[in-house]
């Protein structure tokens, strides 16, 4: 039995309270064992939340809850479901046996939280974003990465830009040191640009990708894109104490035109709940049960409009959720 409390974050909170996340909402999140969070969006083009101060945009609420709950470790799984092999953008003869990776993204440091400014200088505007990392921030995410690798294929590829950035050089040095404590795990380093290239040529070579905040943001979308649809996976954001916030992997859903149309897949959110059962509550069997139900839905070739794959029958968001429940053996 779970007890739920609803809190507002993002555009709905801006509309209700004038800020993307109130301190009270953050406190409620802090006092909960886990947080389930829907996609953030409505922030593009002529949206009413677009042309406002950065701290009043919907994303600012997300950054506040990440920092406020100290959610430094972001786990983003991406693998190819056999049922979706035809939807993968890579040719079948290339993708062969699929791929199965976890992107381990640092989430409370780097350029997302570094000093930022815009000023007038020499008659023009001048903007700065800085990308700070401390050893302890790198160390703790590296440890998480190696621990996850120990439960998988024991391979960590750390992705950085150490040929240019000081923060990446510290990243590489620190990850290498931590790596020595995990002799069974094979560690290698790649630059973000070559990793971005290799990921779409030989994705099966990745097991755990360990990377900084901004690189992880970008490369996790690339990883998800390879799965053939963005609507299938969950993402876990964990704190030191193991407290977690769980979201669909496609956390950023800027397209307002879909609102109220029942076109968007609920599967990412359901998979997020499975991750919650596993990571926050240690309910591995239950998490697997949910994931298996999703596989059955895919086998039955049922899909929503946004994640349609060859041969799929398109249903509405609510109907898709009903199918997931049915395959879970639950009444709807």
Q: What are the C-alpha distances in Å from 111 to residues 61, 145, 217, 254?
A: 17, 20, 11, 22
Known catalytic membership, residue 33: no
Partner whose footprint covers residue 305, from ligand IPM, Mg ion, none (CB < 5 to 8 Å by kind): none
What is the 3-class SS of 233-295, one letter each residue? CEEEEECCCCCEEEEECCCEECCHHHCCCCCCCCHHHHHHHHHHHHHCCCCHHHHHHHHHHHH
Sequence-separated (6 or more) residues with CB below 8 Å from residue 144: 73, 104, 238
Cα angle 280, 78, 157 (rounded to 5 degrees) comes to: 95
- Catalytic pick among 43, 79, 112, 306: 112
Cα angle 108, 204, 284 (rounded to 5 degrees) comes to: 60
Binding mask 233-262 for Mg ion (x = CB under 5 A): -------------------x----------
Site for ligand IPM (CB under 6 A): which residue of 251, 267, 287, 321? 251
**Minimum CB distance to ligand IPM, residue 307 (Å):** 18
Site for ligand IPM (CB under 6 A): which residue of 25, 26, 29, 62? 62
Coil vs helix vs strand at 207:
coil
Q: Is 190 in the site for Mg ion (CB under 5 A)?
A: no
Known catalytic membership, residue 112: yes
Site for Mg ion (CB under 5 A): which residue of 59, 190, 217, 306? 217
Q: Is 59 in the site for ligand IPM (CB under 6 A)?
A: yes
Partner whose footprint covers residue 59, from Mg ion, ligand IPM, none (CB < 5 to 8 Å by kind): ligand IPM
Structure-token pair, residue 298: 């895919």
Known catalytic membership, residue 217: yes
- Catalytic pick among 33, 86, 129, 193: 193
Coil vs helix vs strand at 111:
helix
Known catalytic membership, residue 160: no
- Residues designated catalytic: 112, 161, 193, 217, 221
Sites of contact with ligand IPM (CB under 6 A): 40, 59, 62, 217, 251-252
Sites of contact with Mg ion (CB under 5 A): 217, 252
């Amino acid at each position: 039995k779970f007890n739920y409390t609803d809190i507002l974050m993002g555009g709905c909170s801006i509309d209700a309270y004038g800020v993307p996340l109130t301190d009270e909402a953050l406190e409620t999140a802090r006092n909960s064992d886990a947080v389930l969070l829907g996609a953030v969006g409505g922030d593009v083009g002529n949206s009413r939340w677009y042309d406002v101060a950065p701290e009043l945009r919907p994303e600012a609420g997300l950054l506040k809850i990440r920092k406020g709950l100290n959610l430094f470790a972001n786990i983003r799984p991406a693998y190819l479901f056999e049922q979706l092999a035809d939807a993968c953008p890579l040719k079948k003869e290339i993708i062969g046996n699929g791929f199965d990776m976890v992107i381990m993204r640092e989430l409370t440091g780097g350029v997302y939280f570094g000093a930022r400014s815009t000023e007038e200088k020499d008659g023009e505007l001048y903007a700065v974003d800085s990308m700070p990392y401390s050893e302890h921030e790198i160390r703790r995410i590296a440890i998480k990465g190696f621990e996850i690798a120990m439960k998988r294929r024991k391979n960590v590829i750390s992705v950085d830009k150490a040929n240019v950035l000081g923060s990446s050089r510290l990243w590489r040095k620190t990850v290498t040191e931590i790596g020595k404590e995990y002799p069974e795990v094979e560690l290698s380093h790649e630059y973000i640009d070559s990793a971005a290239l290799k990921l779409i040529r030989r994705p099966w070579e990745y097991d755990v990708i360990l990377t900084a905040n901004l690189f992880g943001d970008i490369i996790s979308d690339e990883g998800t894109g390879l799965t053939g649809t963005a609507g299938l996976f969950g993402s876990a954001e964990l704190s030191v104490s193991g407290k977690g916030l769980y979201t669909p992997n496609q956390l950023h859903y800027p397209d307002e035109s879909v609102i109220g149309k029942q076109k968007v897949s609920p599967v990412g959110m359901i998979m997020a709940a499975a991750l919650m059962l596993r990571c926050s509550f240690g309910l591995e069997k239950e998490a697997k049960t949910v994931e298996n139900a999703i596989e059955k839905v895919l086998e039955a070739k049922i899909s929503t409009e946004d994640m349609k794959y060859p041969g799929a029958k398109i249903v509405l968001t609510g109907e898709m959720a009903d199918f997931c429940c049915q395959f879970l053996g639950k009444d709807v």
